[in-house]
Amino acid sequence: MSSATDTAIRASFFDFKSVADQPDALLSAARYLEDGVLRLRDGRVIGLAPWEECSAELAGQPVVDLRGKLIVPGFIDTHIHYPQTEMIGAFGEQLLEWLNHYTFPVEAQYYCPDHAARMSAFFLHQLLSNGTTSALVFGTVHPQSVEALFSAAEALNMRLIAGKVMMDRNAPDNLIETPEQSYQQTRALIERWHQRGRLSYALTPRFAPTSSPQLLAKVQQLRQEFPDTWLHTHLSENPQEVAWVKQLFPERAGYLDVYHHYQLTGRRSVFAHCVHLDDSEWQCLHDTDSTIAFCPTSNLFLGSGLFNLKRSWQQGVKVGIGTDVGAGTTFSMLQTLGEAYKVGQLQQYKLSAAEAFYHATLGGARALDLDHAIGNFNPGKEADFVVLDPAVSALQTLRIGNSKDIWEKLFVLMTLGDDRNIAQTWVNGRPVWQRDAGEQAA
């Protein structure tokens, strides 16, 4: 039965009906409807079906006609720094110098709530205009940075996970805190924002080098007090960083063991990069059901190295895709998937369009332990999705036009596509961004 408040959308649809533990399982999990109808009620999916099965039932009812467009679940960005939006594309450095020269001075500005509010609005607009409906986001050390971001995301009813940075050493004086301050401020933010509407909180120690053992013990205490929060940090991005962690924590077996020792691994733990892991670290990520955020444009831009996607499947470790703005060079998940393909090529790994779009949608949802809520068009899922215009330039029109099936079209989209291909972005059953309007419709 349909009701007066239902929305019905007619278009082409692509998603994955179920999660996969091996790339071979992706094709059978994939669903493509050339002419389908997506039905929504109260912000959730009622169902997705071929048009011919529903046309009689829908006769006389309004249908949003988006034929010619391809609708996929909203993209999920599993690692991004909102305060670094204003320093994207900073020249000439690798990780540790890049942090000192560019990142820390920019992040210092977020003590100002007005600046944080302005940049939160700008950041969320960038996400939505690129088809990204959920993200796991770093703030700065200032609680007001996260207050601003959560407030802006709440107004849009976005499913977002964020946290204030925790750090107490090896950073400028105006960006460090004591372990006790970090604990108190983080605790207050969790109590105010965690599981409020569609928002959730991630404990966010920046990375091991800016964390004393005392700070990590406070993160551990918070995780024990709030076991359903997320843990979001960096791991094994750059060789100099890995060597520095060994110097700072000589009593630990390696970089990941610093986090594991404080019980910061686990199902809702997301480690960005993981480019230089040793065998025992891969095994620990598997054994603890932890997650990796693969950030191809960032790893290339900072010269950090090549992430081994093939090994993540072999080891049974969940992976999501992160843009990692501002070390990453784009908010566009399409462009990020295209760069992920090239990272694979340099290691003789063929990243298929099926696998790429899986990581950006349902796989990303699973990586964030959110696949019960988002990631595909199964009944009951929250209605977050992207309306893609498959061909918005002469070159795209030519190349999409001679693509023989959906797989080739998706691969062309991730190779040639960008924000121009995002026609609309819907969050919780409502259009919140439309390319024609050029701004948020909400």
SS3 label, residue 240? helix
Q: Is position 324 an interface residue for Zn ion (rule: CB under 5 A)?
A: yes
Phi, psi (rounded to 5 degrees) for 212: -80, 165
Residue least distant from Zn ion (Cβ): 324
Q: For Zn ion, how many residues bind (rule: CB under 5 A)? A: 2
Residue 207: Cβ within 10 Å count: 25
Parallel/antiparallel/unpaired status of strands 318-321 and 199-205: unpaired
Rounded alpha-carbon distances, angstroms, from residue 313 to 140, 267, 271, 299, 306: 33, 17, 16, 20, 16
Nearer to Zn ion, 147 or 324 (CB): 324
SS3 84: helix
The smaller minimum CB distance to Zn ion, of residues 324 and 384, is found at: 324
Contact set for Zn ion, span 187-206 (CB under 5 A): none
Question: Cβ closer to Zn ion: 202 or 272?
Answer: 272
Please choose, out of 19-27, 200-208, 270-278, 371-379, the segment that lies near Zn ion by the rule CB under 5 A.
270-278
384 belongs to the binding site for Zn ion (CB under 5 A): no
- Rounded least distance, CB 80 to Zn ion, Å: 8
Task: Name the minimum Å distance from CB 396 to Zn ion.
Answer: 31
Q: Output 324 or 369, the one with its CB closest to Zn ion.
A: 324
Given the rule CB under 5 A, which of 30-38, 66-74, 266-274, 280-288 is the region that contacts Zn ion?
A: 266-274
The yes or no reply on residue 107 touching Zn ion (CB under 5 A) is: no
Cα angle: 258, vertex 263, 268; to 5 degrees:
110
- Part in contact with Zn ion (CB under 5 A); list of ranges 57-65, 124-132, 319-327, 342-350: 319-327
| Shortest spacing between CB 84 and Zn ion, in angstroms | 8
Name 204's bridge partners. 165
Element (H, E) at 39: strand 30-41
- How near is the Cβ of 211 to Zn ion at its closest, in Å? 15
Residues 6+ apart with CB under 8 A from 289: 266, 267, 318
The window from 14-22, 49-57, 245-253, 264-272 that contacts Zn ion (CB under 5 A) reads 264-272
Instruction: Classify strands 230-235 and 199-205 as parallel, antiparallel or unpaired.
Output: parallel
423, 68 Cβ separation under 8 angstroms: no
Which residues of this chain interact with Zn ion, rule CB under 5 A? Answer: 272, 324
